[in-house]
Amino acid sequence: MAVFRLIMGFRPELTKLMTAPSHVKSEDASSLRVGDRNRARILDAAIEVFALRGYDGARIAEIAERSQLPKANVYYYFRTKRTIYQTIIENLIGEWDAALAQLDAARNPSEALSGYIRVKLEFSRKHTAQSRMFANEVVHGGRFLSRAVRRHMHAATAEKAKVFESWTKAGLMDPVDPIHLFILLWGATQFYADFGVMAKNGLGVKRLTRAHFADGAETIAQIVLKGCGIRLLAGSSEQRPADRLVKAVC
């Protein structure tokens, strides 16, 4: 249950809203209070429901059903619908930092960037529902995004923008507006999760498989790396254009 990790205090400064009990010290699941297990079940169910129906469309009754608890019990753990929603949103942000960590100034730009693309896409494949929830939230103007979250994301972006600029100064990549590059990356990598229906429609498939995400990561990396004038590492695992042509034509 992915939510456990979240509850257990990954990026504690962003989890103020969490109602995780302070007396829980170990991660041993068997020692958890019933409440902790239930909270996690509720959040897991809520992620699905919010992703599918949006904030207003989500009904607490459905969240309760999916977590196999009576509705009143859900309200025992979370004061309001909004609390559940915000808890999930705040937790999500921290996860993206893991992908951003790939963009380390000390690394080779080629590896760092394609690593970022791969990790980000992989995360969005594994956590499609959260991704969509967040997308939905942002599309609606970010009503429930706290100042802290916004600041955190802004700072993270600015920090990594400096990494791009340092690479440029070192002659390792072309001069590219770093923020707009971020937007391109974010938009492209979120697409597969957030706009899955369109990706499926475009690719003409019923389901997006791991392979589709991998292909996407490759194509994005291929275009962005070359597009930014980043040289591939000699021993790099990235496929060369010639290999890809076969695939594209088939």
Partner DNA sequence: GCAGAACCTGACCAAAGCGTCAACTTTTTC
Partner DNA sequence: GAAAAAGTTGACGCTTTGGTCAGGTTCTGC
Q: What residues between 52 and 91 interact with DNA by CB under 7 A?
A: 58-61, 69-73, 75-76, 79-82
Residue 12 partner contact from DNA, a second copy, none using kind-dependent CB cut-offs of 5 to 8 Å? none
Look up residue 47 and give its amino acid.
I
5-33 core/surface letters (b: 16 or more CB in 10 A; e: else): ebbbeeeeebbebbebeeebeeeeeeebe
Instruction: Indicate the residue among 31 and 239 with the shorter CB distance to a second copy.
Output: 239
Instruction: Indicate the residue among 44 and 194 with the shorter CB distance to a second copy.
Output: 194
Instruction: Indicate the residue among 39 and 152 with the shorter CB distance to a second copy.
Output: 152
Which positions from 122 to 151 touch a second copy by CB under 8 A, shown as an x/- string? Answer: ----------x--xx-xxxxx--x----x-
**Angle made by CA atoms 67, 22, 51, in degrees to the nearest 5:** 30
Q: In the 8-state DSSP scheme, what is residue 144?
A: T
CA distance 105 to 144: 33
CA distance 94 to 218: 25
Token pair for 250: 């088939």
The footprint of a second copy on this chain (CB under 8 A) covers a number of residues equal to: 71
The residues in 62-121 that bind a second copy, with binding defined as CB under 8 A, are: none
C-alpha 93 chain-centroid distance: 7
Look up residue 167 and give its amino acid.
W
Q: In the 8-state DSSP scheme, what is residue 208?
A: -
The residues in 217-236 that bind a second copy, with binding defined as CB under 8 A, are: 218-220, 222-229
């962005």: which residue's tokens?
A: 224
Residue 132 partner contact from DNA, a second copy, none using kind-dependent CB cut-offs of 5 to 8 Å? a second copy
The footprint of DNA on this chain (CB under 7 A) covers a number of residues equal to: 21
CA distance 22 to 217: 40
Given the rule CB under 8 A, which of 5-13, 22-30, 94-102, 154-162 is the region that contacts a second copy? Answer: 154-162
Which positions from 7 to 26 touch DNA by CB under 7 A, shown as an x/- string? Answer: ----------------x---
Residue 108 partner contact from DNA, a second copy, none using kind-dependent CB cut-offs of 5 to 8 Å? none
C-alpha 240 chain-centroid distance: 28
Q: Please say whether the beta carbons of 24 and 36 come within 8 A.
A: yes
Residue 180 partner contact from a second copy, DNA, none using kind-dependent CB cut-offs of 5 to 8 Å? a second copy
Provide the minimum distance between the beta carbon of 240 and DNA in the complex, in angstroms, as a whole number: 52
Given the rule CB under 7 A, which of 30-38, 139-147, 196-204, 235-243 is the region that contacts DNA? Answer: 30-38
Given the rule CB under 8 A, which of 21-29, 64-72, 89-97, 153-161 is the region that contacts a second copy? Answer: 153-161
